[in-house]
Amino acid sequence: MPTITPTKPIPLRICIAGATGYLGRHLVREAHKRSHQVTALVRAASKARFPDGVTIVQGEATQPETLAPLQAALAGTDVMISALGLTRQKDKLRYKDVDFQANMNLLDLAQAAGVPRFAYVHALVRGKPKSDLLAAKSQFVQALRAAQIESHIFRPGGYFVDMEAVLDMARSGRIWAVGDGSVRLNPIEGADLAQTILDALERGENDLEIGGPEVLSLDEIGALAFAALGQPVRITHLPRGLAVALLALLKPLTPRHIWGPFEFFLAASAQDAIGPAYGAKTLGAHFKALAAKPEAK
């Protein structure tokens, strides 16, 4: 496991886009805890629940004409961090509208305002992107790298929040897994990831793959979910070819929020996705906490 040298917090002016998401909220909280001056870009004021002292700016990153308040707020900003992207949202937008274009709009604005650094939360991608989501994110990374701004690319593997779908399946008594269940990953918890990203930013790291503390196969993740619920393990493996055929049917017939995560999952579960280990929180403990408080999800 790589060691993170404890860094002396430098008070920075940080603007966080995607601040209302799973990772964004952890980033806002962690940056604020470290005494950085934080501005959070949100699109819905109702979701802007942050610690006192965080400046909230409203705007739609997909619609540049709504971003004048952000432009004004960016003066003097040291770094913009974007954790903005389509995951579970039901918007009728494509990945290239959000993961690529909305981030381009933010990058343009940051450059126009003279912000010297832009940090982007990408994903752990090995080889050519095999989903529309990863293709849009990779396209943005290329543009960011080519831009006249210091770039920081963070490449995390799976998040605990996405592993919760496995616990939900286990609650129904059976987990349906694609493939033989042997593909391995090391997911990371949101607060651990936010700490890793801010540590890396504070020490000026430009490109970092990030995994969690434990490497687990898909079957082991399923077994942890059943163990947390105190139920016997019931995992049914579906042949990958069947899942690929199902995706081909779903893609033209269902909205993006149905086929998109399925396509991303199929791509992500095709091969091991293991990043250098950071953080301390374990998935088993996370599942147990959720199983004890089912209403907390």
Which residues contact ligand NAP by CB under 6 A?
A: 18-24, 43-44, 47, 60-62, 83-89, 91, 93, 98, 102, 121, 123, 156, 158-159, 161-162
User: What does DSSP say about strands 175-178 and 117-121: parallel, antiparallel, or unpaired?
Assistant: unpaired
Nearer to ligand NAP, 100 or 226 (CB): 100
Q: What is the DSSP string of 201-261?
A: HHTT--EEEEB-S--EEHHHHHHHHHHHHT----EEEEPHHHHHHHHHHHHHHS-HHHHHH
Minimal distance, residue 42 CB to ligand NAP, in Å: 7
Nearer to ligand NAP, 213 or 234 (CB): 213
φ/ψ of residue 13, rounded to 5: -95, 115
Nearer to ligand NAP, 189 or 199 (CB): 189
Minimal distance, residue 31 CB to ligand NAP, in Å: 15
**Which amino acid appears at position 281 of this protein?**
K
**Which amino acid appears at position 254 of this protein?**
T
Nearer to ligand NAP, 147 or 233 (CB): 147
Nearer to ligand NAP, 231 or 282 (CB): 282
Closest CA to 39 of 93, 81, 85: 81
Minimal distance, residue 63 CB to ligand NAP, in Å: 8
Which residue's Cβ lies closest to ligand NAP? 21
Distance in angstroms (rounded) separating the CA atoms of residues 115 and 129: 29
Alpha carbon distances (Å) from 1 to 9, 109, 197, 280: 23, 37, 16, 11
Distance in angstroms (rounded) separating the CA atoms of residues 37 and 109: 19
Nearer to ligand NAP, 35 or 63 (CB): 63
Distance in angstroms (rounded) separating the CA atoms of residues 171 and 278: 29
Nearer to ligand NAP, 162 or 231 (CB): 162
Minimal distance, residue 64 CB to ligand NAP, in Å: 12
Instruction: Please answer whether residues 40 and 57 qualify as being in contact, where contact means their C-beta atoms are separated by less than 8 angstroms.
Output: yes
Minimal distance, residue 197 CB to ligand NAP, in Å: 10
Minimal distance, residue 144 CB to ligand NAP, in Å: 13
Minimal distance, residue 82 CB to ligand NAP, in Å: 8
Q: What angle do CA 116, 117, 119 make, to 5 degrees?
A: 165
